Structure 1
Amino acid sequence: MTQRRPLGLTTISAALLVGAFCAGPLLAAGNYPITPEQRQTAQQVAQTGVPVSELAANAPDTYVVKAGDTLWAISGVFLKSPWRWPELWGMNTDQVRNPHLIYPGQVLMLVKTDGRARLQFGRDVSGATGGGDSTKLSPRVRSTSLADGSIAPIPQHLIEPFLNEAVVLNTNELETAPRIVSAQENRVWMARGDIAYARGNFVPNQTEYRVFREPHPLRDPVTKELLGFEAPYVGTADVTRPGGGTGRDEVPTTLTVTLVRQEVQSGDRLAPVPPRDYKSYVPHAPAQPVDGRIVSVYGDAITAGQNQIVVLNRGARDGMERGHVLALWHAGRVVRDTTTSKREDIRLPDERHGVLFVFQVFDRVSYALILSVQEPVVAGDRFTQP
């Protein structure tokens, strides 16, 4: 008998929000613990079901689970808010005891009774409950791409580099870090494979270093408070020959540039490459109200669109967490009311026009990926809990 492979349903593995992000067998349920809050929510919903008003406008009667599906995406098919996955699971905890173990081929049936909705398992065409390779049950089965009508999966390359490349310092700590002083043959710029020479206090036995340009301050767009120093990431370099000595006898450390986001130059600073952070976490709304502003767009862009990174003026001290889902708001325009003799200027209400996902948190700032947006995002734009 062929063993079915469980879907990884609820976590982001530091590189991906949703989707099957690895080849071969998918990750086991034990890697993704269910929090007490999620279990409590599911149990509460299981008693009564979800109000029909909370269902997505085009929620299907039945859906066949496919390889590559995730609970985030399936929640987007059935519910208005995809991050409310415990409620989808709670629709039927008798059959869905562990949300990490929903299998390809299982059929989810939406049952509506007295204004409430629950999920039940149906049967596939082979007659087995919740198994097999069924692709269609009835004319109302929807088995097209889950990205239709839901928040799309985030490709791995969009956020993985930022997990160790986006760095915010409380002080300009790189002032005392080792620095590149010259390139081979007096070159001004260094690319991948080029030789660089550096001076400073290197960490013993540390060979891999990140290269940063001079940090620039991040300020709150409203209060003008200094939130930290953002160090633009340049690339990486490996120590190939340690330096030593002092004064005129000092021999600079020799490095080889191994990766570049932009060309390396003299004066760039070096910091050890930290261990990869693949912490698992679940997409969720903040527990408390949030009201903040976009500090800047990562990089040199003035505006940002979908799949770009922005800096937020809220961090760990404000209760921000990895996995927080936030709403983006577009400031209302100021218009003149010409319907009265006063002809007053009035400001129209702010309009929600996008969704953010927080993936990296520092003390006073956070980095977030724009999941969806209707208009360009600029510094000063507002965000709140969804």
Structure 2
Amino acid sequence: MKSQVALAALTLVAGILVTAPARAQNFPITAEQKATANQVAQAGVALSELSPNAPDSYTVKRGDTLWAISGLFLKSAWRWPELWGMNLNDIKNPHLIYPGQQLFLEKKDGRATLRTRQSTAEETPTNTVRLSPRTRSETLASDALPTLKSHLIEPFLAEPVIVDENTLKLAPRIVATQEDRVLLTRGDRAYARGQGDAALMDDPGSKQKAFRVFRNATPLKDPVTGVVLGYEAQYVGKALLVRSESTEESTGKDGKPRTDIVPATIDIVTAKEEMRVGDRMLPEPAQQFQSYVPHAPTGKVDARIVSVYGSAVVNAAQNQVVVINRGTQDGIETGHVMAILKDGARLIDKTDEARTELKLPDERNGLLMVFRTFEKLSYALILEITDGVKVGDRLVNPR
């Protein structure tokens, strides 16, 4: 139920009719999601869920995020789809909300909703946006408010990748450089080979194939069981396939015919770090429209933090990325919000003559949100934090 509400809310959350980008207009909304959105939007949230200092109105500013605005009005920011007023007849498929919009908090019969216009005392609160009889056309794609600050997670959508034990071993690899260069950078040409189905073959007439280049697959172990759940490959750059690998028939020095293996030709187009022979290549995935709508998991969650991204980092702080030991096979979705628990200390009860050992209760330490999922692991962004987060910290449902 929550996930359906959150997905529907992504495209239904605005209160202004605008010319949205094509990919936002084409974002699918099922009949079930529409029905769920209508039902929840009409109900609103209980007044007890409002923040004690929730304002009666707020004007959206540049730099705002949905998470930050929701935090102004709600105790639990991920519940914003329930608060937001939505009208599917008038607002068929806008993207998000935009700077300059004014939001009004309306309270009635013990419930609260957020609207884009203020009701008068004589009329029933409504989420309908009335437009004057004139034409106005704006392109607001670049001004649309994101759910959270996208620059915090964009690098992790393109750079690190979690793979199984054999994926990188079977992936195409760089086998040679021009003029016996040891290191490769942007603008250099190199040669690569694949194996079997991973052979580097070009498709005539199609777009030039792009590959991400990786090395050093680090094992990620479950902090509870010690089982390796996957391997995190280090992103070092990007390459384009220029010519397919092939074979050529020739004659050896002994006069006998032989078959020469000719590796594929690649050009390095992006270099985060210098590349070298032996680095592996994985196909560039198709670009997708990402939606990051915070919502609580529907089922019970009991997860752990596997690693803090960045080899030199021991404790994670707010706006840092961590890997958790749950993925799609466990029902984890993009946008799932979880509470971080700080492990309670173990100590001796000095007031007890028997000197009994005690373990203090785990205390809530903040919130994180999943933004990229794999089968057994997921990347998550720390949204709120009280104290440092470390490997092994427990994750549970946010309420």
Amino acid at match of 2:148: I
Aligned to 2:181: 187
Q: Is 1:352 the counterpart of 2:346 in the alignment?
A: no
Matches within 5 A, 1:1-386: 10-11=9-10, 26-27=20-21, 31=27, 33=29, 36=32, 39-40=35-36, 43=39, 46-47=42-43, 49-65=44-60, 71-89=66-84, 100=94, 107-112=102-107, 115-119=110-114, 121-122=117-118, 154-200=148-194, 201-205=199-203, 207-245=209-247, 249-280=260-291, 282-300=293-311, 301-386=313-398
Distance, in Å, in 2 between the alignment partners of 1:96 and 1:328 is: 39
Amino acid at match of 1:199: R
In structure 1, distance between residues paired with 2:266 and 2:307:
33
Mean Cα displacement is larger for which, 272-281 or 284-293? 272-281
1:97 to partner: Cα distance: 7.0
Partner amino acid, structure 1, of 2:213: V
- In structure 1, what is the Cα distance between the partners aligned to 2:316 and 2:293? 25
| AA aligned opposite 1:262 | E
- In the TM superposition, what is the alpha-carbon distance from 1:89 to its structure 2 partner? 2.4
1:35-81 per-position Cα deviation (integer Å, ceiling 9, x unaligned): 7468547635735x533221112101222345676654432221112
CA deviations 1:88-142 (Å, max 9, x no partner) are 125x869997795867655443344565434453289xxxx9789xxxxxxxxxx
Is contact 1:105-1:131 (8 Å) kept?
A: no
The one-letter code matched in structure 2 to 1:350 is D
8 Å CA contact 1:103–1:130 kept in 2: the answer is no
Unaligned runs of 5+ in 1: 1-8, 13-17, 133-151
The answer to whether the 8 Å contact 1:325/1:358 transfers is yes
Gap change, CA 1:68 and 1:383, over 3 Å in 2: same
Whichever residue aligns with residue 210 of structure 1, its letter is R
In the alignment, is the contact (CA less than 8 A) between 2:162 and 2:233 conserved in 1? Answer: yes
CA distance, structure 2, for counterparts of residue 32 and residue 76 of structure 1: 28
Aligned length: 345
Q: Which secondary structure state, in structure 2, belongs to the residue aligned with residue 168 of structure 1?
A: strand
Deviations 1:290-345 (A, max 9, x none): 01011112342333222222111111111101111111121112233222323333
Instruction: Determine helix, strand or coil for the equivalent of 1:211.
Output: strand
CA contact (8 A) 2:373 2:379 kept: yes
Preserved CA contact (<8 Å) 1:197 1:254: yes
TM-score w.r.t. structure 1 length?
0.75
Following the alignment from structure 1 to structure 2, what is the Cα–Cα distance between the partners of residues 339 and 72? Answer: 45
For 1:373 and 1:312, how far apart are their aligned partners in 2?
Answer: 16
Once the two structures are TM-superposed, the CA of residue 254 in structure 1 deviates from its matched residue by 2.9
**Contact 1:11–1:32 (CA<8 Å) still a contact in 2?**
no
Aligned 8 A contact 2:65 2:147 in 1: no
CA contact (8 A) 2:174 2:191 kept: yes
CA contact (8 A) 1:355 1:370 kept: yes
Q: Structure 1, residues 220-240: CA drift from partner, whole Å, max 9, x if none?
A: 111122312322222111233
Change in 2 beyond 3 A, CA 1:88/1:245: same
Which has the higher mean CA deviation after the structures are superposed, 188-197 or 24-33?
24-33
In 2, the alpha carbon distance for the partners of 1:196 and 1:102 equals 46
Matches of 1:193 and 1:94, distance apart in 2: 50
Separation of aligned partners in 1, 2:77 and 2:30: 17
**Which stretches in structure 2 are left out of the alignment for 5+ residues?**
1-7, 121-127, 132-145, 249-257
Q: What RMSD in Å do the two structures reach over aligned CA positions? A: 3.7
Residues in 1 aligned to 2:264 and 2:385: alpha-carbon distance in whole angstroms: 46
Is the 2:46–2:112 Cα contact (8 Å) retained in structure 1? yes
Contact 1:306 1:372 in 2 (8 A): yes
SS of residue paired to 2:371:
strand
